[in-house]
Amino acid sequence: MKLRAAFFHGKDTLTLQEIEKPKIGRNQVIVKIKNAALNRHDLWLLKEQADSMPGGVILGADGSGIIEEAEAEEDQYLIGKEVVINPSIGWGKNPLVQAHSFSILGYPAHGTFGDYLQISRKQVFEKPTHLSFEEAAAVPLAGLTAYRALFTKARLRPGEKVLITGIGGGAALWALQFALSFQAKVYVTSGSDDKIKKAIEMGAIAGFNYKENDWPAKISKEAGGFDVIIDSAGGKQFNQLLDLAYPGGRVALFGRTSGLITDIAPRILFWKQLSIFGTTMGTEDEFLSMLDFVEKNRIKPVIDSTYPLEQIHDAFKRMEHSEQFGKIVISVS
């Protein structure tokens, strides 16, 4: 059987190519990829990384599979293990912030959109037993991002009120599931009434359409305010989120889909004693804690759709148009 991978060669060029099975390096393992998953990070690379790369790089941060080879003698027991891959590479020693050498799997190192992955054995972890390969592939990047935002940065406590913006994306849905499992009272926003309905069916108390001009007033009237706000958009509406935060509230931001943040009123920040936390990805300890939380609470990801590797362009189109509710998964083998 021919081995394949989706190679990125520069802005908007992604091609499916034949590959050879990678050769193992020191302290590495070879993973037979079963499933991968898309993230907006991959889409940003496709749209914004303009440097020409004649050899190309295999995109993909998320993946699950089976270890086929292990280099070190003491790691031979890993062969045959079902694993998920931690895409947070080279975080460093400071848990507060990643090192300058930090990177996300899939650029510049080859990622998961192919039949095989060559990677450090430190990046692979046992797949939660209650998850299929398809489900496990939907966990790593978005799950880690949401976990750090909620628990490390915003320090969520049981019973607190949480607002999650842009429900439907992978990280936002993980934040919803994590917060609900932690006994928080969760509200959501979206530009789609259908996505709001689905979030309420999952356990959100209420949802609000941010395309309506009076959405902040509706939220304020129904919910009052929030202890924690999780945002993945930024943009002009960010200042309105600060209005909705309770005094002493915490806002965690990990995305930029709506562009630059403008017109924040300093008085809101200092008079309400608000904290704004920027966050991305997370440490190895947070990844382990996230997997443990998922397993203990038997949480399963929301999967929007699954595409074969040959249809990866269609998968990216769905993400680009923000049509998904949940993770878009790629079936590799």
- Encode pLDDT of 52-98 as tens digits: 677 899 999 999 999 999 999 999 999 999 999 999 999 999 999 99
Q: In the prediction, which pLDDT does 233 show?
A: 83
29-53 pLDDT tens trace: 999 999 999 999 999 888 887 676 7
Q: Hey, which CATH number is domain 3-139+303-331, 3.40.50.300, 3.40.366.10, 3.90.180.10, 3.40.50.410?
A: 3.90.180.10
Q: In the prediction, which pLDDT does 52 show?
A: 67
303, 327 contact by CB (below 8 A):
yes
Q: In the prediction, which pLDDT does 258 show?
A: 75
**What is the average pLDDT across 188-192?**
95
Using left for φ > 0, alpha for ψ between -120 and 50, and beta otherwise, residue 210 falls in: alpha
pTM over 0.75: yes
Low-confidence winner among 7-11, 34-38, 278-282, 311-315 (lowest mean pLDDT): 7-11
Q: Which phi and psi (to 5°) does residue 242 adopt? A: -65, -35
Low-confidence winner among 54-58, 101-105, 149-153 (lowest mean pLDDT): 54-58
In the CATH hierarchy, which fold is given to the domain comprising 143-278? Rossmann fold (3.40.50)
Q: How confident is the model at residue 13 (pLDDT cuts 50, 70, 90)?
A: confident
252-298 pLDDT tens trace: 999 887 778 888 888 999 999 999 999 999 999 999 999 999 999 99
Which has more pLDDT, 187 or 236?
A: 187
**What is the average pLDDT across 90-107?**
96
C-alpha angle 174-253-324 in degrees, rounded to nearest 5: 45
Sequence spans of domains, the chain: 3-139+303-331, 143-278
Does the pLDDT of residue 182 top 90, yes or no?
Answer: yes
**187, 67, 42: which is closest to 123 by C-alpha?**
67
Does the pLDDT of residue 109 top 80, yes or no?
Answer: yes
Q: How confident is the model at residue 322 (pLDDT cuts 50, 70, 90)?
A: confident
Give dist(CA 130, CA 254) in Å, integer: 28
**What is the average pLDDT across 217-234?**
94
Q: Cis omega before residue 108 (within 30°)? A: yes
Does the pLDDT of residue 196 top 70, yes or no?
Answer: yes
Does the pLDDT of residue 323 top 90, yes or no?
Answer: no
Q: In the prediction, which pLDDT does 95 show?
A: 96
Does the pLDDT of residue 4 top 70, yes or no?
Answer: yes
Which has more pLDDT, 49 or 174?
A: 174
The string of DSSP letters for 129-165 reads TTS-HHHHHTSHHHHHHHHIIIIIIS---TT-EEEE-
Average of per-residue pLDDT values in the chain: 94
**What is the average pLDDT across 307-331?**
95
